Structure 1
Amino acid sequence: MKSLGKHLIIEFFDCDDKVLSNLEGVENAMNQAAIEAKSTIVNSVFHHFSPYGVSGAVIIAESHITIHTWPEYGYAAVDIFTCGEEVEPYKAYEYLKEKFNSKSVNIKELNRGELDIENLKVKVS
């Protein structure tokens, strides 16, 4: 069976708190991670919370990359959801791990849309 996409659910631990609290730095890192994965950026939006923490999303033609940071705990939660054969989500993961100076990581990979594509009729409205 073939899947339509790959979804990485990543927890970065023991990260640099200054990096995780910097809105511009997090946004730049997330956009560069999308580039490293060979995806096509459509848009990105990020928000800094008071007193700390950043959340944001990079919308890519192949799906999305999202983040929520807790600098006070040195923790970041990242989802990388990609579709297609050309995108390399693990390249984005490796880039972010280095940028956030993460000392420990928990990562899970899910196949999304596991379908018997050869025997499935495409519905078009």
Structure 2
Amino acid sequence: MTCAPYSPGLHLILDLFGAEALTESERLETTLTEAARRAGASVLATQFRAFSGGGVTGMVLLAESHISIHTWPEMDFAAVDIFMCGAAKPEAARDWIEACLRPKRVVVHRIARGAVQLNQASQPSL
């Protein structure tokens, strides 16, 4: 009997430097919504807001968790969170976001949320 790691969700934290569309609320909403669909996630709601300084904050609420973005165009920077559980594929969402926003540089942090060691014969009790 062996133990295998189990995580109910994967959280990708992306720092995007030099990305496009940092002031375009509608384009960002379309990009993140499509990213969720390409990841196999179910979109429940979206909320995006452009600020007078040009930045945008937005959230795509998913049955599997969320994708969010916060932009600072004056710094040529965007912070993106992709957190998904179940069969959703957060890496597919990441790929789509990067393809659409075309950042010059990306820093990625991967966090296995709630990671535990499980006996392969048992099921997670969360």
Same-fold call, TM > 0.5? yes
**Contact map agreement 1:10 1:79 (CA 8 A) in 2:** yes
Higher helix share: 1
Gaps of 5+ in 2: none
TM-score normalised by structure 2 residue count: 0.87
Residues 121 and 23 (structure 1), Cα distance of their counterparts in 2 relative to 1, 3 Å cut: closer
Q: Deviations over 1:1-60 (max 9, x none)?
A: 3111000010011112xx110111111111011111110001110111112100011011
1:61 lines up with 2:57 in the alignment: no
Match in the other structure for 1:14:
18
* 1:76-91 equivalent positions in 2, closer than 5 A: 76-84=78-86, 86-91=87-92
Structure 1 CA distance, aligned partners of 2:125 and 2:41? 27
Match in the other structure for 1:3:
7
Q: Deviations over 1:71-117 (max 9, x none)?
A: 12221100000001x21111111111121120110001000011345
CA shift, 1:119, in A, is: 6.8
Residue type at the aligned position of 1:30? L
What is the root-mean-square deviation of aligned Cα atoms in Å? Answer: 1.5
CA shift, 1:120, in A, is: 5.7
TM-score normalised by structure 1 residue count: 0.88
Residue type at the aligned position of 1:35? R
Q: Name which of 26, 47, 55 aligns with 1:45.
A: 47
Residues 119 and 91 (structure 1), Cα distance of their counterparts in 2 relative to 1, 3 Å cut: closer
Structure 2 CA distance, aligned partners of 1:109 and 1:49? 29
Matched residues, number: 119
Residue type at the aligned position of 1:87? A
Match in the other structure for 1:111:
112
**Contact map agreement 1:4 1:115 (CA 8 A) in 2:** no
Residue type at the aligned position of 1:70? W
Structure 1 CA distance, aligned partners of 2:69 and 2:55? 10
Q: Secondary structure at the match of 2:114?
A: strand
